[in-house]
Structure 1
């Protein structure tokens, strides 16, 4: 049942992104920024946590989940370190994911043979 819920929640997030790109003039970059920002805002007002509890990885892996991780990191760091946590919490909470993305992106760039779109 967890797999089904993760699939449905993650799929719904992806469908929303696709609808935004198909029906508006938003570029993928606009949708990316909007999703990360919405993850932060929805976490700050307490709406995204129930979505994460329902969809688990289906809610934490897509782009709003990155915003969720940033916001949760800031909230925890502020509780622990005070105002300095505003600047350090999000970075600390997401450092592993960012490092993995850079590392694997670099490996794929070394292994692939890109061609121009002629």
Structure 2
């Protein structure tokens, strides 16, 4: 039964983040690209302030998988690298922490590009 609640919290957290994004699309003139940037920057700011950690503890993968989770990972990696390597760690820590996810995205994007052909919409 404990696993059920873990899934339920992840679904709820991810759903709320998606709901906010959909409301921003429907009710504002923000483009999807600006909303994407807003989510990543929000994750960085909330992660840097230590507030997003509470969301991660509650929502698990529902908080770490969306774009806000990517921003949180960047902030967490930069903070850890600063603690280990000094101020220069702020420049390398975020990318180092996110390298696995970035590499996976590039790899699976390449596989998708090799397997499928793009078509025009018209």
**SS of 1:35's equivalent?**
helix
**SS of 1:26's equivalent?**
coil
1:7-51 deviations in Å (ceiling 9; x for gaps): 000010011001001111111100000000000001111210000
Residue ranges of structure 2 left out of the alignment (5+ in a row): none
1:58-111 deviations in Å (ceiling 9; x for gaps): 000000000000000000000000011101100100001001001101110110
Corresponding position of 1:90: 94
Residue ranges of structure 1 left out of the alignment (5+ in a row): none
Q: CA deviation at 1:113?
A: 2.2
Residue 37 (str. 1) matches residue 46 (str. 2) = no
What is the CA RMSD across the aligned residues, in angstroms? 0.6
Alignment length, in residue pairs?
118
| CA distance in structure 2 between the partners assigned to 1:90 and 1:4 by the alignment | 29
Corresponding position of 1:78: 82
TM-score by length of 1: 0.98
| CA distance in structure 1 between the partners assigned to 2:117 and 2:81 by the alignment | 42
